[in-house]
Amino acid sequence: MFRKSFQVDGVHVRQARFYCSAAAYGCFKINGSPVSQDLLNPGYTHYDKRNLYSVYDVGSLLRQGTNVISAVLGNGFYNEIGKVATWGFESARWRNRARMTCMLRMEMEDGTVREILSDGSWRTAVGPYLVNNIYAGDKYDSRLEKKGWELAGYDDSGWQEAMVVSAPSPLLAAQKMPAIRVSEELGAQGFRSQGDTLFIYDFGKNISGFCKLRIQGNSGTQVGLQHGEIKLPNNRLEVGNIACYYSPMEDKEFQTDTYMLNGELQELSPQFCYHGFQYVEVRTSQPVHLTKESLRAEFFHTALEPVGMFECSDELFNKLSAATHVSYLSNLQSIPTDCPQREKNGWTADAHMSMDLALLNYDGILLYEKWLDDFLDNQNDSGRISGIIPSAQWGYDDWIGPVWDAAMFGIPMTLYYYYGDTRPIEKMWPACVKYLNYLKGRENTEKTVTYGIGDWVYYKTQTPTDYTTTCYYYFDNRLMAEFARLLGKDGTAYEQKAQYLRQLIQCKYFDREKALFSNGSQAAQGVALYLGLVPKEYEQRVADNLSQMIAANGGALDCGMLGSKTILRMLCKYGYADQAFQIANRTEAPSWGNWIKRGLTSLAETWNLSPTFKDASLNHVFLGDIHAWMYQYLAGINYDEAQPGFKHILLQPYFVKGLDWAKGSYRSPMGMVKSEWVRRHGRIVLDVEIPANTSATLSVDGKKQELHSGRHHFVYEKTKNKH
């Protein structure tokens, strides 16, 4: 805890701004009022390379006379105490005691400017904040609270002088992306008690955030709130599916906030952690009275603005749509993460695979631009990047590899498609050059690279990873050639490399007789078609084979992450939209619908969920591309690579059998795009809206039609769903 008193006398303040940064987190107040509603701020970075600051308008918080600025600091990923989790944050090269810097800049009515800075004149104490750990939770002893310490008039003579310490990094940069904020407060939907010391709450939805507890108990009563995704039949919490990479800290459990009560009626919530949870088990050391209303859940995440909407006549799809929103948002904590409970890590491929669903639903460019800065900070001297970004040194390993690393090419490319902005590409260019030089050094005698993981979390059939890595090595080079073209650079070498790898893949992994790639798996065909690796004259046959192998498998997918991104898209492209719909609509495992049928409100990490759910995270977004597929293939709203940023729109709705209507809207950088169709008396009625100063090409049944901005209405007698 830090406090600083200062006087404002005589002259009035015309305008006041508060600039602040911390490693890891700072909760700043002026005269007891928070300077903002932002949580866990600033955003997570490689703390020794770059720190972020925020600026707030705080004029209304100041007054004549004595004023107080206060701050409480939290550890986050900057100061991971002890070996709590697997990823080595406890030995991060940046690790140090939490620290902050701030400046209050007041412009006075008489034109003078006054600044209050963080310096050695501040006072500091520890108070009730005993422990905080991003994985384990906060520990807070409310008996140690110092009443009124954030207000004027508090006697801080017993406090120590704040220590002036070095900045964590040489670079203090403005945080341009939206901060983390509460988007929804949830009341419990279920509540059970076992005696008066054990309670379990069900919030009905699997989210990221923390809880607010209203409680009164004997002074010294210890209350533990453990958070998890599974409730056992005996009404106890199960954390086995998420605590697997966690080693208990001394007297601290995974995802558990602990409070010591002070005897008064209290409202308590943690400040420096977040959890992934649907259920909360509350355990107290002495009897207390708690009701269903005593605990509320705060769902929070980086507060991106929604820009998309998709709805259709299929209830399962609407539930999947809701689950995708929850999982995407739960995994936005100033970086895109894999899961909010177990890892909280910025796994590169997880975000890459989710780019379309991300940008169709939310205005994400500032968040991803920030995360690309983290890629720059992450790259080591050899040119390598790690599987998680940021990383404290963990994950620069061969077992992860180029399919994951491809995010550094795919993310700036996708930002360009959606926003028409080349700056992320420009920024990444030197890092991409360096990375491809690194991969060159890793090539085998066939002049490709083969290490790493690929079609991760596959169901039964594994696709060989030497094949998928080579495919993504091709992808990197092809995008690099495109980057060069966009930036006016010479991309010949990348173009040639891409062509070489395409030929190599066709020679080595393509059986022309059977028209099958690699080991003939579903994902192998999906990836080849999606990345454009199939010789033109074989494309339809490969797609036919993909369709047939799924039909022969009882209409079920048998793939992992790469298949989940590519297969439905490719089936639609090559004339099998009805089959894609049937796959998407399945509720038997392996399928998205199976998660929903089994009661999940979020997207799971694997298709293979055991009856108890105990084996995986239930809040991963990387298999969620089906939601983008709904926008792009059912509503039919697509960017045009040749005229990005929705200057020209490709409208290509598939009126699939089994769906009565679908509607999607997307607030593109050029304005609102809408597409909506319904079956009426055996016909299809389609209404579309194209923003001003744009145009669109509508494709239905292979017929293309140019549209100008404005509203358009079409009626189709019959369609074949072929484009």
Binding interface with ligand BGC (CB under 6 A): 338-339, 343, 347, 349-350, 453, 456, 620, 622
List, in sequence order, every residue forming a beta bridge with 13; answer none if it has no partner. Answer: 108
User: For residue 61, what are the CA distances in angstroms to 30, 106, 449?
Assistant: 6, 12, 58
Cβ closer to ligand BGC: 481 or 628?
628
Contact 243, 128 (CB under 8 A): no
- Please give the DSSP secondary-structure letter assigned to residue 690: E
Nearer to ligand BGC, 338 or 466 (CB): 338
Least Cβ distance, residue 443 to ligand BGC (angstroms): 23
Q: Which of residues 227 and 620 has its CB atom nearest to ligand BGC in the complex?
A: 620
On the CB side of 325, how many CA atoms lie within 13 Å of its CA? 20
Burial state string for 232-259 with b = 16 or more CB within 10 A and e = fewer than 16:
eeebbbbbebbbeebeebeebbbbbbbb
Residue among 429 and 622 whose Cβ is closer to ligand BGC: 622
Adjacent-strand bridge partners of 227? 280
Residue with smaller CB distance to ligand BGC, 606 or 638? 606
Read off φ and ψ for residue 471, nearest 5 degrees: -60, -45
Question: Min. distance of Cβ 622 from ligand BGC in angstroms?
Answer: 6
The nearer residue to ligand BGC, 201 or 456, going by C-beta atoms, is 456
Strands (DSSP E) found in 261-408 = 266-268, 275-284, 295-302, 308-312
User: Which of residues 342 and 674 has its CB atom nearest to ligand BGC in the complex?
Assistant: 342
142 in Cβ contact with 266 (< 8 Å): yes
Smallest distance, Å, CB 399 to ligand BGC?
Answer: 8
Which one, of 627, 675, 565, lies nearest residue 326 by Cα?
627
In this complex, which beta carbon is closest to ligand BGC, that of residue 456 or of residue 607?
A: 456
Residue 399: strand, helix, or coil = coil
Q: Tell me how far, at minimum, the Cβ of 501 lies from ligand BGC, in Å.
A: 24
Contacts of 561 (CB under 8 A, 6+ apart): 349, 353, 455, 456, 457, 622, 623
DSSP string of 232-257?
-TTS-EE-TTTGGGB-PBTTB-TTEE
Closest CB 228 distance from ligand BGC, rounded Å: 16
User: Which residue lies nearest ligand BGC, judged by its C-beta?
Assistant: 338
Structure tokens at 358: 């991300």
Query: Are 323 and 601 a contacting pair, CB within 8 Å?
Result: yes
Q: How far is the CB of 256 from ligand BGC (least distance, A)?
A: 21
Reading the block at residue 247, the tokens are 């080693």
Nearer to ligand BGC, 338 or 356 (CB): 338
Nearest to ligand BGC of 122, 347 (CB atom)? 347
| Choice between 258 and 606, CB closer to ligand BGC | 606
Q: Give the whole-angstrom CA distance, residue 162 versus residue 504.
A: 63
Smaller CB separation from ligand BGC, 314 or 338: 338
Please report how close the Cβ of residue 329 comes to ligand BGC at its closest, in angstroms.
16
- By C-beta, is 239 or 698 nearer to ligand BGC? 239
Q: Which is nearer to ligand BGC, 38 or 350 (CB)?
A: 350
Q: How far apart are CA 186 and CA 190, in angstroms?
A: 12
Phi and psi at 586, nearest 5°, equal -70, 150
Pick between residue 320 and residue 349 the one whose CB is nearest to ligand BGC: 349
According to DSSP H, which parts of 509-625 are helical?
522-530, 539-552, 561-573, 577-584, 592-597
* Distance in angstroms (rounded) separating the CA atoms of residues 569 and 552: 19
- Nearest approach, Cβ of 376 to ligand BGC (angstroms)? 21
Q: Which pair of tokens denotes residue 173?
A: 């940069």
CB of 347 to ligand BGC, least distance (A): 4
- Cα torsion 326, 327, 333, 334 to 10°: value is -100
Alpha carbons 453 and 467: distance in angstroms, whole number = 10
The distance of closest approach from Cβ of residue 530 to ligand BGC in the complex, given in angstroms and rounded to an integer, is: 19
Shortest Cβ distance from residue 509 to ligand BGC (Å)? Answer: 23
For the CB of residue 457, give the shortest distance to ligand BGC in the complex, in Å: 8
DSSP string across 28-86:
EEETTEES-S-BS-S----TTT-EEEEEEE-GGG--SEEEEEEEEEE-TTTS--SS-BT
| Nearest-approach distance from CB 342 to ligand BGC, in angstroms | 7
CB of 328 to ligand BGC, least distance (A): 14
If we measure between CA atoms, which residue out of 563, 557, 521 comes closest to residue 542? Answer: 521
Least distance between ligand BGC and beta carbon 344 (Å): 10
C-beta of residue 386 within 8 angstroms of C-beta of residue 452: no
What is residue 710's DSSP assignment? E
Q: How far is CA 18 from CA 21, 62, 491, in A?
A: 10, 11, 46
Kindly tell me which of 539 and 605 has the beta carbon lying closer to ligand BGC: 605
Shortest CA distance to 211 belongs to which of 311, 154, 163, 280?
Answer: 280
Minimal distance, residue 52 CB to ligand BGC, in Å = 25
Length of the chain (residues): 723
